[in-house]
Amino acid sequence: MREMVTSSYKSLFLFFLLTAGMSVLGFAQSGQIVGNVKDAKGEAVPFASVSIDAIALQVLTDLNGDFLINNVPEGEAEVTVRSIGFVDSKQSVLVVADKPTRLDVTLQEKVETLGETVVEVKTKATQKKEEAYAVEVIETKELQNREVNVNQLATQSAGIRVRESGGLGSKFTYSLNGMSGNAVRFFVDGVPIDRFGAGYSVNNFPVNLIDRIELYKGVVPPQFGSDALGGVINIISKKKYSNYLDASYSYGSFNTHRASVSTRLVNDSARYFVDFQGFYNYSDNDYKVWGKGVEVADPETGKAIEIETRRFHDAYRSLSGKLDFGLVDRKWADQFKIGVLYAGSHNELQHGATMASVIGEATQNSQSFSPTMSLSKKNAFVKGLDLNLYNSISWLSTETIDTSSRIYDWNGKVIFEHPTNSELGQGGNGKSMLTLNSLNNFHQLNLAYSWAEKNRLNFNYTLDAITRDGEDPLVGNRTATFREPQSMTKQVSSLAYERSSFEGKLDQTVWVKNYDFRVSTVDTEYITDSLGYRPIGVPIGNKMNRFGYGYAVKYKLKKRSLLKLSLEKCYRLPTAEEMLGDGLFLQNNPELMPEESWNLNVNWLLSGLPVGKSGHLSVEPSLFFRNTENLILYTVQNNVGMGHYQNIGKVRGMGGSLDIKYRYKNFLVLSGNATYQQMRDWMQYKGANLNQTYKDLLRNTPYLMANMSATVKQEGVFKDDDQVSLFWDVMYVHEFFLNWPSLGDPNTKSVIPTQLVNGAGVSYSFKSGKYNLSFSCNNLFNEQVYDNYLLQKPGRSFSTKLRVFLN
């Protein structure tokens, strides 16, 4: 405590000293130093300290490794660059008044010698994991050559389960420590991506466009400015290199093609850059399915006969391109960037909420176009104040074409035909060509004021406004509510105070958040008028304003031992889709209430523990607690081929996971994790009645899962500059019930069966990583795999990938 007080006085003193110093400097002739910090491999080093110790000036590099020091006195200045895991660098530069001086620094990685063992000190993933939050970080550096997607990577992490309804392009949901569905939000470089449509889904990103994936569980840093009550998936795209080209193409089973290109061109003298990232994905998804739900009728008796067949109407295509033009090192901005993003997808629909509803012609398409603008400025207005602005406008169009009169069986045969029928509205709702048009405005302002190195105040404001209407030239009955205009506005403001004490041993963040929601939507009402008995859309509204708050702390017990705790009270409003349905397999439920939750995480991170002479072990046991009211959960309805979202009242859950990683030299990595969680219905009474499912495990929710992985890497196998790596992954999910576990005879209940899936592959790199080839196999033993009830995922598949990387 005494040390904290002393530290506070020191901070205050330093703040006044710096302010006074800056005032004096303001009268002298001064200039700027701009530059970039990277490591020996050419990768940017973010958050490195760049200082001129003689005059107590210090800044941090941004995510790209860029920095700017203003008000540097004319003349020679000695600049010191420090970063964890690197050797300090000192360089002298000549500063000229009113003109920026360029300084690019390459840091050498620090090594520690332990006998014969050379150990790299702290990877970026470790640095991120050492934040006070419960965060998983997947570094993709070792995975760049593999044909693997984001969902596959994420679901192998402790406490995380990704549930997919089929192959490439299929719907998926993330579950982070028991919280799932729309409680989990997706970001790319800190910007939410739901406005960009299905074509820009996280799972469409080839891994070689990604630098790392951050998965925040439960407690989310306020800077995200989101109502992500369950967690955040944040993809950090690759932009570490000054000039580079990364291109890949892969081909695999089910006629799957995936191509990507990522490049950055930098002109140092003119101080601008151009970024481009694009990808294309296609798959027929014609994998084999069999068993319950995959049945045809015996032509003589009508008896249901299970068959093995290929999916025949499940092709998926997505295309995306993102072009950015940026200016750097300007007086008014350290970086100013404008860009455009296009994303489109075409999706054939194969079945409804379960595989019993076979679809042979209906399709869904989406397209989005989004201009974006961002600006960042360090020391804006006053020293220590960093400003970040992001704005985007998105036009998203989603079209569902359901005009076929034919009904198909699993053999792909037409078995039924009504001239006025449609596949999705079987039997009574008519044909539809529904197009939903959304206009989204997203604006984010972040102000961070730092003083005395140890204190930081962060204000974040996010405005997210969407208006949506629809058109259907065929005026289908079921699209009545979707043709009316709807709007939703979310504003999230947060103020956070961060403090580092005890020489960096103790880091704390406390924040308060305000959530403001306004929803104007439409419910269905049936009327009889001159147009007959028909549904019409009736406007309904919803609004909410709540305050949430949180606290995160980490304490470094020892050099390799870190204790973390994070706690948050947070809210989430239902999305438009949850309230309104999707016009397809999702029924509306306009009575949905917002979710609210108390989330608590406790993690103990032990990293880099030496094992023998050349091995290192990292262990992270973690515990979590969730206390949620009005949890929004998707449930398949029993007697129709649809589902809907429901509030489950109160849900309380706790669980734990253990994550272990062993590394032997640079040759072998063994990792594994296991998670056990118990999310329970915590509503004791329903009206006057005791709730029968009180303390019952949540239905349709996995509770026991584990993963293991082994990777072997060898350099110089055939040539000095080549590398071969082999991997083997195993994933396990224990069976769980579709409906409430305690209700009904357990022997007759519908279950989502146990999964045990193996995957393996090999990759070969040569010319120091310029050229890379890989071959992999998923679901090696062709297991029948389900994430959701009667929605079979692909069996065994093979893929090969070619990647070129020029830097």
Q: Footprint of other proteins on this chain (CB under 8 A)?
A: 293, 295-297, 300-305, 353-354, 356-358, 407, 409, 415-416, 418-421, 426-428, 430, 526, 528-533, 635-641, 686-689, 691-693, 739-740, 742-746, 748-750
Q: Which is nearer to other proteins, 17 or 297 (CB)?
A: 297
Residue 37 C-alpha from the chain's centroid: 27
Residue 762 burial class via C-beta count within 10 angstroms: exposed 0-12, middle 13-18, buried 19 and up: middle
Single-letter residue type at 498:
E
Q: Which positions ≥6 away from 301 have C-beta within 8 Å? A: none
Q: Which is nearer to other proteins, 169 or 649 (CB)?
A: 649
Handedness of CA 133, 138, 140, 142 (dihedral sign): positive
Q: How far is the CB of 655 from other proteins (least distance, A)?
A: 24
Q: Which is nearer to other proteins, 557 or 640 (CB)?
A: 640
Q: Which positions ≥6 away from 798 have C-beta within 8 Å? A: 252, 253, 775, 776, 777
344-370 b/e (C-beta count within 10 Å ≥ 16 → b): bbbbbbbbbbbbebbbbbbbbbbbbbb
516: nearest Cα among 540, 542, 497, 495: 542
Asked if residue 247 lies in contact with residue 261, where contact means CB atoms within 8 angstroms, the answer is: yes
Asked if residue 605 lies in contact with residue 622, where contact means CB atoms within 8 angstroms, the answer is: no
Asked if residue 33 lies in contact with residue 68, where contact means CB atoms within 8 angstroms, the answer is: yes
| CA–CA distance, 762 with 746 (Å, rounded to integer) | 43
Q: How far is the CB of 308 from other proteins (least distance, A)?
A: 16
| CA–CA distance, 298 with 308 (Å, rounded to integer) | 15
Asked if residue 486 lies in contact with residue 516, where contact means CB atoms within 8 angstroms, the answer is: no
Q: How far is the CB of 188 from other proteins (least distance, A)?
A: 36
682: nearest Cα among 745, 637, 626, 622: 626
Q: How far is the CB of 588 from other proteins (least distance, A)?
A: 13
Residue 710 burial class via C-beta count within 10 angstroms: exposed 0-12, middle 13-18, buried 19 and up: middle
Q: Which is nearer to other proteins, 181 or 197 (CB)?
A: 181
Q: How far is the CB of 530 from other proteins (least distance, A)?
A: 6
Q: How far is the CB of 627 from other proteins (least distance, A)?
A: 22
Q: Which is nearer to other proteins, 430 or 608 (CB)?
A: 430
Asked if residue 805 lies in contact with residue 770, where contact means CB atoms within 8 angstroms, the answer is: yes
Q: Which is nearer to other proteins, 323 or 538 (CB)?
A: 538
Q: How far is the CB of 262 from other proteins (least distance, A)?
A: 44
Handedness of CA 787, 574, 189, 438 (dihedral sign): positive
Q: How far is the CB of 124 from other proteins (least distance, A)?
A: 47
Q: Which is nearer to other proteins, 23 or 638 (CB)?
A: 638
Q: How far is the CB of 521 from other proteins (least distance, A)?
A: 17
Single-letter residue type at 468:
R
425: nearest Cα among 350, 357, 527, 347: 357
Q: Which is nearer to other proteins, 489 or 750 (CB)?
A: 750
Q: How far is the CB of 138 from other proteins (least distance, A)?
A: 37
Q: How far is the CB of 431 from other proteins (least distance, A)?
A: 9
Q: Which is nearer to other proteins, 228 or 698 (CB)?
A: 698
Query: From residue 798, how far is each of 146, 253, 603, 774 by CA, in Å?
Result: 12, 5, 37, 11
